[in-house]
Amino acid sequence: MLVKKILKRLLIKLCRLSGYEIIDQNQFSFPSLKNRRFNDLAEINEKSIVFPLGEIKISNKIQSLKIIIRTNSNIHISDQNKKRIFNKEKIEYIKKSLNSLANSIEHFERKFSQIKISLTIVDQSKNNELLDEFNKIFAKIRSNLEIINFDKDELKDEIEVDYQKDIFGNLSSLLKCFKIAKQSNEDLIFFLEDDYIHKKSLIEEMILTYERISSQINKELILVPSDYPFLYLEERTTNIIPGSHRHWQTLDKVLCSFMMSKKILDNYWDNFVQTCKNHNDPIEKYLNEICKKEICLSPLPSLSIHMANSNSIFGISPFVDVKKEWDNN
């Protein structure tokens, strides 16, 4: 028995030196990877292992992430008169959304301290008590937090929409987020809205999946965190690609919550400006043009749940326990 253990250790060391991994088929364990779980085998910035598909060396190494989230407790659903699922005040959706995001960032920071995350909140609520809540919610994370009290007047000369309409404030805050991203130096930019509840694994899976797939196909990506109902309302051709922990499907439409490389933002900057200049139909018209030229993916099943009206084709993802996620956050 002792000899067997010694030989096993030697074999593990030799495999590591040669760049190979060992699978103990009897125990379904991974001795050369310190017996980590089969769905937790990735080494960020080094390699992505999906059993039984094997290993992908990471060539597109992510060092930093900028998260930019828009909040506004004064508008229940922009440009609509519908009620949200659970019929709560907008402030409740914002708190749960940010709490789930903070949990996801904290979870990621515990596992991958080498990746720098910074978070900016662009808020139009003009509610000091809510801003205090933001600071309390994100007190658990190490990442830098910036809160901007945004006045829609700041960008009124750049938007050709009736100032009195709610859509003006929506486009104005969206343009502010794009401008913040344009001035940043992070590798990845993650734009988020204030009415999504996120899985704890959101940040981990988004970054690890980005590294894996972008290294595999040698292209920059756009990743959408939610699996929207509208994707299944008409026949379309899609490709299914394994990410770090789940499958992802290709798509050619997005809403305003998505993650992308800074390189894509720079390359298509005019599209981002045009998105906010007028009231397009749909609002994401010029963003969707980017998706027709670049690889855009969404997760199966969803990593984020859009807490819209229960009948909305842009809302709740299929096959998710919405009540459970709501109660957990």
Give the DSSP H or E segment for 190. strand 188-192
CA distance 204 to 328: 19
Task: Please count the other Cβ atoms lying within 10 Å of the Cβ belonging to residue 145.
Answer: 18
The tens-digit pLDDT sequence of the chain (329 residues) is 666 666 666 655 665 555 556 555 555 555 545 545 555 667 788 888 787 777 889 999 999 999 999 999 987 665 556 788 888 999 999 999 999 999 999 999 999 989 999 999 999 988 888 889 999 999 999 999 999 999 988 998 888 877 667 788 889 999 999 999 999 999 999 999 999 999 999 999 999 999 999 999 999 999 999 999 888 888 889 999 999 999 999 999 999 999 999 999 999 999 999 999 988 888 999 999 999 999 999 999 999 999 988 878 888 888 888 899 999 88
> How far is the CA of 299 from the CAs of 68, 184, 225, 234, 303, in angstroms?
20, 26, 6, 18, 7
Q: Which CATH code for domain 64-328?
A: 3.90.550.10
- What does the domain layout of the chain look like in residue ranges? 64-328
> How far is the CA of 327 from the CAs of 77, 97, 101, in angstroms?
21, 12, 15
> Cα(first)–Cα(last) distance of the chain, in Å?
50
Q: Are 134 and 95 in contact (CB under 8 A)?
A: no
- pLDDT value of position 6: 63
pLDDT in tens, 140-180: 999 999 999 999 889 988 888 776 677 888 899 999 999 99
